[in-house]
Amino acid sequence: MGFRLSRYLPILQWGRSYNGSAFANDGIAAIIVTIMLIPQSMAYALLAGLPPIIGLYASILPLAAYAFFGTSRALAVGPVAVISLMTAAAAGNIAAQGSDAYIMAALLLALISGGMLLIMGLFRLGFIANFLSHPVISGFITASGILIAVSQLKHILGIKASGQNLIEMGESLWSGLSGFNQPTVIIGLIATIFLFWVRGGLKPLLMRLGLKERIATIGARVGPVLAVIAGIVIVAMLGLADKGVKIVGDIPQGLPSLEVPEFDWPLWRSLLASSLIIAIIGFVESISVAQTLAAKKRERIDPDQELIGLGMANIAAGFSGGYPVTGGFARSAVNFDAGAETPAAGGFTAIGIALATLFLTPALYYLPIAVLAATIIVAVLSLVDIKSIRHAWQYSKSDFAAMAATILVTLIYGVELGVMAGVALSILLYLLRSSRPHYAVIGQVRDTEHFRNVDRHDVITLPRILSLRVDESLYFANARFLEDVIYEKALGSDKIEHVILMCSAVNDIDLSALESLEAINARLKSAKISFHLSEVKGPVLDKLKRVHFLEDLTGKVYLSHHEAIEALCENPFDVEMEFHL
């Protein structure tokens, strides 16, 4: 029982060896991440269309929950840009931004997606995330980065604008452009330029000043805090709030209250699809970050337990006034670089954020919204991956099509339809590719027992024997294609007496494919041609033995293709041969 409990509570494993050194390292990392997370959480809450305090709430109990249930020693969960955008899109379908119903919808998205992740983890269903291919994820994140950046321009310009897609946002920004606020524009542009410089210029500057590379790296990543402090001071000293510069204003002090949301089935039902997409996207992003950081220390991440950890973090967010969270790369990288040794660093960060909500929120009163918007813009533009788009075009046109479709649909119709379009097109393209698998007529490489494609290699074939290799598992979508290929190749010559199907790449044969093999066997039999199989894998052969196919087979099943050729022609070099160069 103790072993099973520690399986679901990793803290019972690493907690046994926790010591003072780990405590000190985790504590230092927590301080640094807390400083970074305060403005970042508020900025992402703003992106989600929520009050800034909710971003802080989403960074307290979720962090603590993950510390108990997560397996990554460096992952820092909390609000992230893409999930915040998805939250805004989903909650916006329920109610207007700023309303109580909108906030409730965001809270329920965390609770429902957390429950889904928890169930997936308990039933080991992490493979569901595999339906999101890399091109789809890359395309979705690229499009989301563009949407997020454009959505924040209204705060940089100090105007009112809205929209759920690029077209709506563009039209809204254009119509309100004439009403821009000059002080806001100046603050926003300076903050944006400074933050871009921080990403590439602050670290070299700190190193020239004598700081070690690790400390300089951390300093550069918490650089946005300097922009926040400068923005607060400038607005307060110059009285810019009275000149139209929008500020955060009053932020409630105190810890979030724990509440059980009211069960409203029509509302919950309307959020199920969005919650599932948020859950899967969040898990894919989180597990990729966790595995990347774990690999640097040769540590192991348990994907199924990560589902549970992330699920519990989101459930905690739902019960404490937050919204959906996941593991973020920037804060996790800072946590890693700062020396975090265990998930306890996340728990200490939660304490730091809790203290900030108790004592520091009054100091954020004059924080300009434009600075938070600049923080978001600089962060998300790094998500726009033009290199991956170019790489996909060069390597695989079908993957490029899935990526391009995801980008275009996301930009034009919104994030949810973008993901669904990308997944649907990826599955469709896979079915199309696998329905016409690669096959080859093969011959024997001189002086070897190897058989290769006659169109690619210098090989020998025998006119009486047709050797075919199919490079795909056989199933309903490609079974008829295999029939057509064999009939075309085998029945087109009067010399052929044997057909050997090399199955080295066949990992499975479904019932439809079995029926096609039976039809091939019968058709070839009527033409007085024997049908043989070679190099059939054990699990596939086991399935074939359960039915009468092997008993009805006109030929035999051979362990190797060379063995089949030797058996069908005792001395193949004493008979007529064809040479392929």
Task: Report yes or no on 424 lying in a domain.
Answer: no
Q: Minimal CA–CA distance to 98: which of 148, 48, 55, 147?
A: 48
Based on the domain organization, do 452 and 360 belong to the same domain?
A: no
Task: Report yes or no on 416 lying in a domain.
Answer: no
- Residue 6 is predicted with a pLDDT of 66
Task: Report yes or no on 461 lying in a domain.
Answer: yes
User: The dihedral of CA 476, 477, 482, 485: what is its sign?
Assistant: positive
Find tokens 């900030």 and name the residue.
356
- Residue 409 is predicted with a pLDDT of 93
Q: What is the CA radius of gyration of the chain?
A: 30
329-337 vs 213-221: helix crossing angle, rounded to 10: 150
493's torsion region: left (phi>0), alpha (psi -120 to 50) or beta? beta
Q: What does DSSP say about strands 465-470 and 459-461: parallel, antiparallel, or unpaired? A: unpaired
Based on the domain organization, do 398 and 447 belong to the same domain?
A: no
Based on the domain organization, do 459 and 335 belong to the same domain?
A: no
- Residue 2 is predicted with a pLDDT of 44
CATH number, residue 452: 3.30.750.24
At residue 276, what are phi and psi to the nearest 5 degrees? Answer: -65, -45
Q: Which domain-ending residue is among 386, 408, 430? A: 408
What is the enclosing helix (H) or strand (E) of 105?
A: helix 100-122
Q: Which domain holds residue 531?
A: 439-580
Based on the domain organization, do 370 and 491 belong to the same domain?
A: no
Residue 58 CA to residue 183 CA, distance in Å, equals 31
Task: Report yes or no on 371 lying in a domain.
Answer: yes
CB atoms within 10 A of CB 431: 13
553's torsion region: left (phi>0), alpha (psi -120 to 50) or beta? beta
Task: Report yes or no on 32 lying in a domain.
Answer: yes
Helices and strands (H, E) in the chain, number of each type: 27, 10
Residue 389 CA to residue 571 CA, distance in Å, equals 54
Residue 506 CA to residue 438 CA, distance in Å, equals 12
Task: Report yes or no on 312 lying in a domain.
Answer: yes
Task: Report yes or no on 3 lying in a domain.
Answer: no
- Residue 135 is predicted with a pLDDT of 86
> Buried b vs exposed e over 49-73: b needs ≥16 C-beta within 10 Å?
bbbbbbbbbbbbbbbbbbbbbbbbb
Residue type for 58, please?
A
CA 445 to chain centre: 44
Q: Minimal CA–CA distance to 460: which of 576, 337, 295?
A: 576
Based on the domain organization, do 270 and 402 belong to the same domain?
A: yes
265-296 vs 100-122: helix crossing angle, rounded to 10: 60
Q: Compute CA distances 497 → 466, 518, 526, 556, whole Å.
A: 8, 18, 12, 14
Task: Report yes or no on 11 lying in a domain.
Answer: no
- Mean pLDDT per 10-residue interval, the chain, length 581 residues: 65 85 88 87 92 94 94 91 92 90 95 96 82 82 90 92 87 91 95 89 84 79 84 94 91 87 88 93 88 81 91 96 91 83 92 93 92 89 86 90 90 85 82 89 92 92 93 94 94 90 96 96 95 96 95 95 88 51 52
Q: Which domain-ending residue is among 408, 427, 450? A: 408
Q: What is the pTM of this model?
A: 0.81
Based on the domain organization, do 354 and 475 belong to the same domain?
A: no
Based on the domain organization, do 404 and 508 belong to the same domain?
A: no
- Residue 53 is predicted with a pLDDT of 94
> Buried b vs exposed e over 131-164: b needs ≥16 C-beta within 10 Å?
ebbebbbbbbbbbbbbbbbbbbbbbbbbbebebb
Asked if 72 and 29 count as a contact pair (C-beta separation under 8 A), the reply is no
- Residue 383 is predicted with a pLDDT of 80
Q: Which long-range contacts (CB under 8 A, 24 or more apart) does 20-27 make?
A: 21/341, 22/341, 22/342, 22/344, 23/344, 25/339, 25/340, 25/341, 25/345, 26/340, 26/341, 26/342, 26/344, 26/345, 26/348, 27/345, 27/348
Find tokens 């919104």 and name the residue.
414
Based on the domain organization, do 287 and 245 belong to the same domain?
A: yes
Based on the domain organization, do 448 and 398 belong to the same domain?
A: no
Give DSSP secondary structure letters for 300-332.
Answer: ---HHHHHHHHHHHHHHHHHTT----EE-HHHH
Q: Minimal CA–CA distance to 184: which of 158, 161, 151?
A: 158
Based on the domain organization, do 358 and 463 belong to the same domain?
A: no
Based on the domain organization, do 389 and 492 belong to the same domain?
A: no
Domain count, the chain: 2
Residue 368 CA to residue 325 CA, distance in Å, equals 24
Based on the domain organization, do 390 and 446 belong to the same domain?
A: no
Residue 144 CA to residue 414 CA, distance in Å, equals 9
